[in-house]
Structure 1
């Protein structure tokens, strides 16, 4: 009897194992999905038409971005040089694809109505890079304790900065018709400066060359400038010159929208922090056609990541002022910058390639 029970238990166990093996398939490890292949030249077959502004201080960043797009495989044409309003009209219509010379909020009023549906501002070429204001030779600012335009009302300051003996301090200003000339004229009105400061409105480059010569001779200088620019490549803020304040923020009507950006913090070489610049400080940004961006995620990613230190732009602008200003020179400057910043450059390109997947 005991023998029969053992046989029956053994048969039952065999049937259970058999049933289980028939109903349950053996577990198999899932195969890993193959990694997506990164396309080295995602822009291959795409022709791109860039634009650039008419001021040469913006040529360097244009050359760099064009070089980046070429490395991504795009067929990039030579840039069309356009005045601001014509560019914003052209990029909205798709006649050009992008430029690297947007200054915002300064350019906002120059964009056509409805352009926000067709045009996108991307990344920061130089955040707060579009700085404008007044500078004074550092040793003289310290000697006379100059902090703002109001200090030029003091007799001893006027005398020190009076190069033509007219009883007023000489300011290297902007030529008639420039936007900065209108703001400086506004400052003279609202801060009551006409009897104290003489604005020199001759050709800017020649006037600044004269100011630089006076500085090198040890004389005081007082000038308006903007960044990026060769002027603060030659005359370095914090070392040679200092940014000074306006007495208080009193914007023109056209500056009202950017009033909060007329005071700016963390400016190297400023006499105070924050600095009351008196001009709207702009971000330099890429502006592109939305259809182009949507069709070219690699280009959009590159635009978003691309950025420059203001000192690098000023250094290149200084080379141009010293005579290295042909297109071949500018392209060489761009390649030199890439070689000096290869790791950063490669990381931008890699991220742009990955954006295509």
Structure 2
């Protein structure tokens, strides 16, 4: 009789998890460690998922320090951490593909629904006042608008800091578009200096043309317009990012997939958690908005995550059953 009661209880728990009559359960007693990557968006996402899994699903959760390469390597070899909430596949493409084929890891779904974005940008107010400036090819006609303070006869394009991968790519595009005669390729010296130059121009409503990427706090704060480039061509791009390759070409930056990576055991032992992770994609605008709040309020990842959960209920409550959402809201 006792065995029958236990079996019946198990059935009711399962029905509750699928039918919504009872609270969804975590599905595993094992500790679910989540990689808190060392950049703002991934760190905030780690805290968001930790709160929802712990408070909503009753999981045993722990945040651990991480970064793309060491985190993916550990997941592939040790099955730990269990979750990488924002894994940039492009940096570990071959190893990750092999891990997927061998069944060591899984992709739960996209972390950024529209992918990471890189490109050349101008402020929206500049675009509105100069409707002919839509493509990178149009820049030479507008060199005077973006005059270099140190060389007024040339325009200034704000590129990447030294040592960043985009520094090589921007130099290649500069060559491919024959911009040397009308623009100077300006190195800001550091990521902080690049940000400061962009912020200063926007706050003063001055013209600026610059490289940038998203999701980022600056992209969430300021209205900017991306200059058009031809569709991304992998072969052209392979040459553009190889300094020894001479045949530079015109191509948009790639849009690398950014996924929620998990150890394979998580899907097997806690399918409810894996299903949750398959629903959590945010777009660039949503993430940039979250990061901008964090930057303006000098908030850490945990506080930024809490603010997101309190103010974006219409977003994250779509990820979970109603009973889970109520538990999380009550905990907040």
Give TM class, smaller chain: 0.7 to 0.9
Partner of 2:155: 169
Pairing 1:158–2:158 present? no
Partner of 2:33: 49
> 1:60–1:334: 8 Å Cα contact kept in structure 2?
no
Partner of 1:300: 274
Q: 1:307 to 1:214 in 2, by over 3 A?
A: same
Larger helix proportion, structure 1 or 2? Answer: 2
Aligned CA-pair RMSD: 2.8
> 1:85–1:110: 8 Å Cα contact kept in structure 2?
no
Residue of structure 1 aligned with 2:259, choices 285, 291, 295: 285
Q: 1:283 to 1:324 in 2, by over 3 A?
A: same
Q: 1:120 to 1:51 in 2, by over 3 A?
A: same
Partner of 1:216: 203
TM-score, normalized by length of structure 1? 0.72
Q: 1:255 to 1:162 in 2, by over 3 A?
A: closer
Cα distance per residue 1:138-168 (max 9 Å; x no partner): 23234341122222222xx111112414133
Tell me how far apart the structure 1 counterparts of residues 323 and 167 of structure 2 sit (CA, whole Å): 41
Q: What SS class does the counterpart of residue 201 from structure 2 fall into?
A: helix
Tell me how far apart the structure 2 counterparts of residues 203 and 110 of structure 1 sit (CA, whole Å): 30
Tell me how far apart the structure 1 counterparts of residues 302 and 96 of structure 2 sit (CA, whole Å): 34
From the CA coordinates, give the structure whose radius of gyration is larger. Answer: 1
> 2:80–2:263: 8 Å Cα contact kept in structure 1?
no
Pairing 1:207–2:194 present? yes
Q: What SS class does the counterpart of residue 278 from structure 2 fall into?
A: helix
TM-score, normalized by length of structure 2? 0.77
Residue of structure 1 aligned with 2:165, choices 164, 179, 182: 179
Gaps of 5+ in 1: 1-33, 257-275, 352-357
1:65-214 mapped onto 2 (5 Å cutoff): 65-70=49-54, 71-82=56-67, 84-93=68-77, 94-104=79-89, 106-109=90-93, 111=95, 114-116=98-100, 117=102, 118-144=104-130, 145-154=132-141, 157-166=142-151, 167-197=153-183, 198-214=185-201
Partner of 1:8: none
